[in-house]
Amino acid sequence: MRSTKSYLVTIILSVASILLLTGLSTAQSSPSAAAAKEFKRLVNLQTALGKIPMTKQDKEPHRSFLKRNDNDIVYSDPAGEWYVRSKRLWDLAAKYRNLPRADKIAWAAAENQLPGECEGYVPCYLSVMRMTYGEYLTRFPKGAYRKRAIQEMTHSFTRIADDAASTKRNYDAPTESGDQAEFLKAVRELRDILLKVPKPEAAKALSSLKRVEDSYK
């Protein structure tokens, strides 16, 4: 009788342990699952937006779809297209910043299309770099996508600097004092960001940024 009782106690304790571990596992995985679900929704939303013909945005079912998602999207007049608001992705990355997935979400935010266009105006391009790849490196200076972010920045800085040295320019320098201040502020912020990433990786980007500064200050 005693052995049977001991056997039952052992089984009960084992089952309780399994249930406890299962509960802990579920609790631990739920934030990750929530992050994945929220991120997927925004990715799917952008995919759906890209499939809406420009000439049918004001017709059903597209009109109702756009209205229903108004808080998450923004219209780009030059392109005539709708994009997911980058802020939604940045906020999501911040919300789950302690999870590995936050890095991927932040990179999606950096790569996300912004409304409007710079039309060759240098301060605008630098501001865009700051809001996209610069923001990613600010949050994840050692992130999985840092090299790609640095490459994108280097490419843009080099293109602008090379253009300044050419006889036929495609980029416009800041013309007013306020714009000049904005330009120098963007240069300073981008430099500070790049100085916080692994030094060998950022060297070329810093050099190209210096060329831009010297060409337009």
Predicted confidence (pLDDT) at residue 28 exceeds the cutoff of 60:
no
Mean pLDDT score of the chain: 89
What pTM, to 2 d.p., does this model score? 0.84
Counting residues of the chain whose pLDDT is more than 70, the rounded percentage is 87
Distances 44 to 28, 49, 83, 109, 174 between C-alpha atoms, Å: 26, 9, 12, 14, 38
Q: What span, in angstroms and rounded, lies between the C-alpha atoms of 215 and 217?
A: 6
Strand-pairing partners, residue 81, are: 76
- What is the per-residue pLDDT for 9? 43
Q: Which of 10-24, 70-84, 180-194 has the lowest mean pLDDT?
A: 10-24
Cα torsion 77, 82, 86, 91: sign: positive
Residue 43: CB atoms within 10 Å: 14
pLDDT band at 203 (very low <50, low <70, confident <90, very high): very high
Q: Which residues contact 136 (CB under 8 A, 6 or more apart)?
A: 106, 107, 109, 110, 143, 145, 146, 149
Q: What is the mean pLDDT of residues 105-128?
A: 96
- What is the per-residue pLDDT for 168? 85
* Angle, CA 150 vertex, CA 79 and CA 80 arms, to 5°: 5
Comparing 175 with 182, the larger pLDDT belongs to 182
- What is the per-residue pLDDT for 198? 86
Q: What is the mean pLDDT of residues 61-66?
A: 97
Tokens of 213: 């500064």
